Chains A and B, each alone.
Chain A
Amino acid sequence: MPELRMPSLGADMEHGKVVEWLVKPGDYIHKGDLVAAVDTDKTVMDIESFQEGVVAEFLVDIGDTVDVGTPIARITATPAELPPPLTSGANSPDARSPLTAEEPTPAHRSAGSGPAEHDAKVPPPVRHLAHTLGVDVGRISGSGPGGEVVRADVERAAAASVTKAPAAPPVAAEAPAAPAAETHRVRSSPLARRLAAELGVDLHAVTGTGPGGAVTEDDVLSAVPPRGRAPKEQSPNVQGAEKPAEAPPSETPRPEARPKPMAEASGRKQPTAAGGKAESLRQAIGALMSRSKREIPHYYLSTTLDLAAAMAWMQVANQQRPVSSRLVPSALLLKATAIAAKEVPDMNGFFTKGAFQPSNSVHLGVAVALRHGGLVAPALHDAHTLSLDQLMDQLRDLVSRARAGRLQRAEMADPTITVTNLGDLGVESVYGVIYPPQVAMVGFGKVLEQPWAHNGMLGTRHAAIATLSADHRVSDGLRGGRFLARIDELLQKPEEL
């Protein structure tokens, strides 16, 4: 049974938090379709599906933080690809096959059936409500005419999935409908799961005291030594007591108990979230850079690039262009770097498992400073093949999305070499720290008019200092020097970039 797993969005990523579903159960998705927004320590990224099929159900809730590799959604094959119903049990070892579960309870009919049938039983407005509340409509018994799921069903399920109290209505989202499924999933409330993830508690190791042995928030808390407990108010989403009226009386009132999916999804825009993000980003950068300095024997080179030709060419080109398609010097520098990286493969690729794997494509990471502090370095894919105009367009798009905290998975995971261009803000040179598992980092300083001796004459021309930090396990200074020299050569013929 295909599953969508939490992908790795970078060498340093160990876990991610689902903050938004971009699809809903019953949706038909193609390979490459964006399915969810995932919050890592660094940024929020949209992740794509590697499968084609119908979204059967979500296996994690919005706000859940899970390890890389954890299944987060189940995708069923398209109806045409499904085996005949009678044999379906054979390829659904988890006994969760929608086809076998379909008849006994209407609750599962959405899972494997095509979107059309799904639509018939759940009117779109109700499905939207369910999506908003984080309720899987496929797991609700409909109380409307012909078993149709109505708004009240969804709202009850939403309340039930939160409170998990004995008084919960019979439609409890995770209750009796699918007992077989619980063999690999510990029965627990979303809040308990989230708390367990935050505190690093293995739910399998916790004895549940809730209904049906479900692990409750208290169970999770009691499984942690007191000193290990983190403050519960970690994210802004747990503040609003949304539905106090529907929460059955319990011995310990929990005003923060209502996870509010929409608030979570938009939470990253709130000031508190931004502050927390800057902090976690700082930690992530610190951890990665420590690893880089510990593992990678860096060597450093610098050279001064003669930019007279490049700047003169760009100024003429820009005079004929509307503002919207003007170039910046960075575009030329990036393009020259990409071509040079293609020609000097020792700079371009990944060092993993004790060996260097050069990359055939140059996915050029571009360090982007974020306004609240920190930086991300997403990739311009196949930068060596882009025209200057294409590169410029993609650069602007990439930087604006990086700043808005909205990048795609591949952009974060793919860079094969990274460029940092601190010169934009005034420094003359920057010696970067290599971003593992990459093996080189190129830095560009400020473009300055400098005195320049040429053919025995002293004049002024535009110049900038280019630096290279490279991995001695892969290359030596000779090769690195050739790489920097090649960048300079390429910039002498800007019209060919």
Chain B
Amino acid sequence: MNQQDARQAVEAAIGKVAPDVEPEDLEGSARLRQDLELDSLDFLHLVEVIAGSTGVDIPEADYPAVATVDGLVTYVAGHG
């Protein structure tokens, strides 16, 4: 999956999990927990939505790599 498709999938997934997050807040460097205020349940939901839409299953051990929007996009692009 290329970077752009991955970014689209990630943005769509975040929009689904946290509908009130504004698109302009989705900077690449935004941290999902601290900046976008996703809690652990939201994050789990996000991982689930991404698995559903892209087939990329992120194991718990890789959570630190996907703590930011860019990190998540890169991970999805690299594994999809």
* B11 interface residue per 8 A CB criterion: no
B36 to chain A, nearest CB (A): 10
* A262 interface residue per 8 A CB criterion: no
Assess the A396–B37 pair: CB atoms within 8 A.
no
21 chain-A/chain-B pairs, Cβ below 8 angstroms: A315-B60, A319-B60, A323-B44, A323-B47, A323-B48, A323-B58, A324-B48, A326-B44, A326-B47, A328-B41, A330-B41, A371-B18, A371-B20, A372-B20, A395-B41, A396-B44, A399-B41, A424-B33, A424-B40, A425-B33, A425-B34
Instruction: Give the docked Cα–Cα distance between A318 and B48 (Å).
Output: 13
**Contact among A318, A324, A330, A372 for B40, CB-based, below 8 A:** A330
* B57 interface residue per 8 A CB criterion: yes
A11 to chain B, nearest CB (A): 26
Closest 7 CB pairs of A and B: A424-B39, A328-B40, A323-B48, A371-B20, A318-B60, A323-B51, A424-B40
Residues of A within 8 A of B44 (CB): 323, 326, 328, 396
Assess the B18–A323 pair: CB atoms within 8 A.
no
* A34 interface residue per 8 A CB criterion: no
Assess the B34–A426 pair: CB atoms within 8 A.
yes
Residues of B within 8 A of A315 (CB): 60-61
Residues of A within 8 A of B60 (CB): 315, 318-319, 326
Residue-wise, chain B 31-68 has the 8 Å CB interface mask toward A (1 for contact) of: 00110010111001101100100000111110000000
**Contact among A318, A322, A396, A426 for B45, CB-based, below 8 A:** A396
A-B contact count (CB 8 A): 44
**Least CB separation from B46: chain A residue:** A323
* A386 interface residue per 8 A CB criterion: no
Considering only residues 424-457 of chain A, those with a C-beta below 8 Å from chain B are 424-426
Instruction: Give the docked Cα–Cα distance between A372 and B19 (Å).
Output: 11
**Contact among B39, B41, B58 for A425, CB-based, below 8 A:** B39
Instruction: Give the docked Cα–Cα distance between A410 and B33 (Å).
Output: 31
Residues of A within 8 A of B61 (CB): 315, 319
Assess the A371–B37 pair: CB atoms within 8 A.
yes
Given contacts A329-B40, A395-B41, A396-B45, 6 further A-B contacts (CB under 8 A): A323-B58, A326-B47, A330-B41, A371-B37, A396-B44, A424-B40
Instruction: Give the docked Cα–Cα distance between A395 and B20 (Å).
Output: 21
Instruction: Give the docked Cα–Cα distance between A324 and B47 (Å).
Output: 9
* Count, chain B residues at interface, CB 8 A: 18
Q: Which of B20, B37, B44, B59 has the most CB of A within 10 A?
A: B44
**Least CB separation from A424: chain B residue:** B39
Residue-wise, chain A 393-407 has the 8 Å CB interface mask toward B (1 for contact) of: 001100110000000
* A369 interface residue per 8 A CB criterion: yes
Q: Which of A318, A323, A330, A425 has the most CB of B within 10 A?
A: A323
Residues of B within 8 A of A400 (CB): 45
A480 to chain B, nearest CB (A): 26
Residue-wise, chain A 307-344 has the 8 Å CB interface mask toward B (1 for contact) of: 00000000100110011101011100000000000000
**Least CB separation from B34: chain A residue:** A426
B46 to chain A, nearest CB (A): 10
Residues of B within 8 A of A426 (CB): 33-34
B21 to chain A, nearest CB (A): 8
A112 to chain B, nearest CB (A): 45
B62 to chain A, nearest CB (A): 11
B47 to chain A, nearest CB (A): 5
B24 to chain A, nearest CB (A): 16
Assess the B39–A396 pair: CB atoms within 8 A.
no
**Least CB separation from A274: chain B residue:** B20
Residues of A within 8 A of B34 (CB): 425-426
A383 to chain B, nearest CB (A): 16
A228 to chain B, nearest CB (A): 35
Considering only residues 363-382 of chain A, those with a C-beta below 8 Å from chain B are 369, 371-372
Instruction: Give the docked Cα–Cα distance between A215 and B37 (Å).
Output: 49
Instruction: Give the docked Cα–Cα distance between A167 and B34 (Å).
Output: 61
